[in-house]
């Protein structure tokens, strides 16, 4: 199938057959602890995450590893093929049905199969892409679970944001089971954003070095923790014009953008501008930006 066409590697995957013509390809490298599990393509339209996973796989395939890593670049093959967030087969969002059900619909069975691998991991990293312009950031239950907080800090992505904790997501269910798990969000949904891809890949390789899974000297990193994202919605229909770049530090009343010829949109809180819409037609109530307040631990 298209898995092999995509991945320019001679590493043989472990194949889990879900049903006729549908299977998951888990690429397993190294052995022993620590055991890392990296997933991408849980949402089929988030291409940059898949690209990072493949790129990592190719690089790690040439290295000596001191521990094991399982990479699942395409976690939702039907959605990936159709470039959709939800499954074209049963209309479900794979990242809402974990831990899955081996007797359920196609998407629930995919989740159950992925969950079997996830349960054996010491760390789980799930790669996703933001539909807006964003800096790479970690989404984690860092307030609820101290082991998640420690893990997210070690990862080395500069911004760590609290998740809403919506159940059924792989990283949320794993976190509740005592496994340190996070999402990394990056720019590049429906296309490959090479700059984000390289940035996230380098951070992940550095994290694996920190763990001792890969040899080399790890760079020191510093991250900041933030609370949940406050969503900012358009007050009117029209053309949204952003006035700031994502990643900016904002204060209450900082101008984020405007609806051309009309309303100005200000930040309701101080913090990090996590994501912002590109110039685009928007309608009243559409999300145009997200801001998260810095936390002190
Ligand atoms: Zn996603």
- What is the spatial distance between Cα 30 and Cα 32, in angstroms, rounded to a whole number? 7
Instruction: Name every residue whose Cβ is closer than 8 Å to that of residue 225 and which is 6 or more positions away in sequence.
Output: 142, 149, 152, 153, 160, 162, 294, 295, 297
Q: What does pLDDT average to over the chain?
A: 96
CA of residue 263 to ligand 1 center, whole Å? 30
Residue 11 has a pLDDT of 86
Beta-bridge partners for 126? 39, 183
Range in 4-8, 177-181, 210-214, 285-289 the model is least confident about: 4-8
CA of residue 79 to ligand 1 center, whole Å? 12
Residue 154 has a pLDDT of 96
Q: In the chain, what are the domains? A: 2-211 (3.40.630.10), 228-294 (2.40.50.100)
Would you say how long the chain is, in residues? 297
Cα diameter, the chain: 61
Q: pLDDT tens, 199-212?
A: 999 999 999 999 99
State yes or no: pLDDT of 8 exceeds 90. Answer: no
CA of residue 87 to ligand 1 center, whole Å? 13
Beta-bridge partners for 70? 28, 37
Q: pLDDT tens, 40-75?
A: 999 999 999 999 999 999 999 999 999 999 999 999
State yes or no: pLDDT of 4 exceeds 90. Answer: no
CA of residue 184 to ligand 1 center, whole Å? 9
Q: Cα separations (Å) of 83 from 9, 41, 44, 49, 113? A: 23, 10, 5, 13, 21
CA of residue 273 to ligand 1 center, whole Å? 19
CA of residue 64 to ligand 1 center, whole Å? 31
Residue 264 has a pLDDT of 97
- What is the spatial distance between Cα 180 and Cα 152, in angstroms, rounded to a whole number? 8
């Amino acid at each position: 199938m298209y898995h092999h066409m995509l991945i320019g590697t001679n590493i043989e995957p472990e194949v889990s057959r879900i049903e006729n013509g549908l299977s998951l390809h888990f690429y397993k490298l190294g052995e022993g602890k620590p055991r890392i599990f990296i997933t991408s393509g849980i949402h089929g339209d988030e291409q940059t995450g898949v690209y990072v996973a493949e790129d990592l796989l190719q690089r790690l395939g040439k290295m000596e590893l001191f521990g094991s890593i399982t990479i699942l670049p395409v976690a939702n093959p039907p959605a990936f093929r159709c470039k959709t967030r939800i499954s074209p087969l049963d209309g479900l969002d794979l990242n809402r049905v974990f831990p899955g059900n081996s007797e359920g619909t196609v998407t629930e069975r995919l989740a159950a199969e992925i969950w079997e691998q996830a349960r054996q991991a010491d760390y789980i990293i799930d790669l996703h892409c933001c539909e807006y312009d964003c800096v790479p950031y970690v989404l984690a239950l860092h307030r609820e679970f101290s082991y998640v907080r420690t893990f997210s800090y070690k990862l080395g992505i500069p911004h760590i944001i609290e998740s809403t904790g919506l159940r059924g997501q792989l990283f949320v269910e794993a976190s509740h089971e005592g496994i340190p798990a996070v999402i990394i969000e990056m720019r590049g949904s429906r296309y490959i954003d090479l700059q984000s891809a390289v940035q996230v890949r380098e951070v992940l390789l550095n994290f694996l070095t920190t763990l001792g899974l890969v040899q080399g000297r790890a760079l020191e990193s510093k991250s900041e923790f933030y609370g949940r994202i406050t969503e900012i919605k358009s007050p009117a229909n029209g053309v949204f014009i952003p006035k700031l770049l994502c990643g900016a530090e904002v204060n209450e009343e900082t101008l984020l953008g405007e609806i051309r010829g009309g309303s100005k949109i200000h930040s309701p809180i101080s913090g990090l501008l996590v994501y912002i819409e590109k110039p685009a037609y928007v309608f009243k109530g559409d999300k145009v930006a997200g801001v998260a307040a810095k936390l002190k631990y």
